[in-house]
Amino acid sequence: MPDIIVIGDINADVILTIPAYPRPGGEAVAATVKIHTGGSAVNTAVALAKMDMDVGFIGRIGKDALANQILADLGESGVDGTHIQTDPKVNTGLIFIAVTVDGERTMFGARGANTFTEASAIDPAYFVNCRWIHLSGYSFLSYHQHETTLMALELAKNSPYTRVSLDIGTEPALRARSQIMEVLPKLDVIFPNETELAILTEGRSIEAGLDYLLDGRTSAVVAKRGRKGSILAVGNKRVSLPAFNINVKDSTGAGDSFNAGVVLGRLVGLSWEASAALGNALGGLATSQEGGAASSISRSSVARLIEKHLFQEEWSQVRYALEELAAYFEGTL
């Protein structure tokens, strides 16, 4: 039984590299086209597996060629897919991603079989040894997935040692805010970006929004800020951590890998600050190549990145977080 269980969408990502996004009615000729196994929750699971964690995934695929490739990819990455459901009627989710030369991406998605993930098909015995459940906000967008999420939260509630995290997502924040706010007290940490944080907190500033969420609504927030790094909020603590200096090629999946870094850090006993820094590291490494966000992540690549930044000026205020990470990864290089 896995140590970490990730629940959410599974997709085939069709990634097109284009010089610039066209005007409506215009045309962009792709320089490259690649197909990868993706989905925000899958990206998080794969990043955790790349860091040698025992990870299982729960989601739903169709009975099609894309599904066969996805199962093969997950198996190769080390993610346990034995509890992935198969829909007999609906195709596997499909995402078209246009990536411009600055690394920014625009996405068009068809969620397919994901929306029919069934709570009744989940085996509670799969969660017996689970120490962490990671959820995707997109599960709040359909009835069946929402019920699956509620069941997972109930299983975590009945366990004395299972912690739960939630990656918010912009569409869920917009369309399912009330459902998300309702479950926040049951979560150990949430991972919004700046836009999602503003939506959840009804337009408040970052500082006021963090105070609002931590005022009895949730236990901890680690907010993703892209090239500005991240901000940690837990109790009365507010800590900003810089991004790592990386040549960005494709930001697809960066936030998902960030989630994996924070989850990993907390599971192995690192401080909140070191865990957030590890999130920045995994998120940054995910941007260093086109597509396949987690394919550039390994313990040795993280160790090298930390060593490179250990004495850089921008980390002077939180160098202790990098020092803690350096000690954790000692002997990896």
In the chain, the domains with their CATH numbers are 4-9+39-86+111-328 (3.40.1190.20)
Rounded distance between C-alpha atoms, residue 254 and residue 234, angstroms: 23
**What does the block give as tokens for 168?**
């918010």
Q: Which is nearest to 279 in space by CA: 291, 247, 6, 267?
A: 267
Q: Which is nearest to 281 in space by CA: 267, 263, 301, 266?
A: 301
Rounded distance between C-alpha atoms, residue 95 and residue 84, angstroms: 19
If DSSP codes are grouped into helix, strand and coil, which group holds residue 166? strand
- pLDDT above 90 covers a percentage of the chain that reads 77
Q: What is the pTM of this model?
A: 0.92
Mean pLDDT of 86-98: 93
pLDDT of residue 292 exceeding 60, the answer is no
Rounded distance between C-alpha atoms, residue 27 and residue 29, angstroms: 7
- pLDDT above 70 covers a percentage of the chain that reads 98
Mean pLDDT of 307-329: 95
How would DSSP label each residue in 90-159?
Answer: SPPEEEEEEE-TTS-EEEEEE-GGGGG--GGG--GGGGTT--EEEEEGGGGGSHHHHHHHHHHHHHHHT-
Q: Quick one: pLDDT at residue 75?
A: 92
Burial 101-135 (b: 16+ CB within 10 A, else e): eebebeeebebbbbbbbeeeebeeebbeebbbbbb
pLDDT of residue 250 exceeding 80, the answer is no
Q: Which residue has the tokens 């190769």?
A: 76
Residue 284, H or E segment: helix 272-286
pLDDT of residue 233 exceeding 90, the answer is yes
**Residue 139 near residue 145, CB atoms below 8 Å:** yes
Residue 134 CB contacts under 8 Å (≥ 6 apart), including other chains: 4, 5, 6, 7, 8, 41, 44, 45, 164, 165, 166, 167, 259, 263
**What does the block give as tokens for 133?**
């459940």
Phi, psi of 233 (to 5 degrees): -135, 115
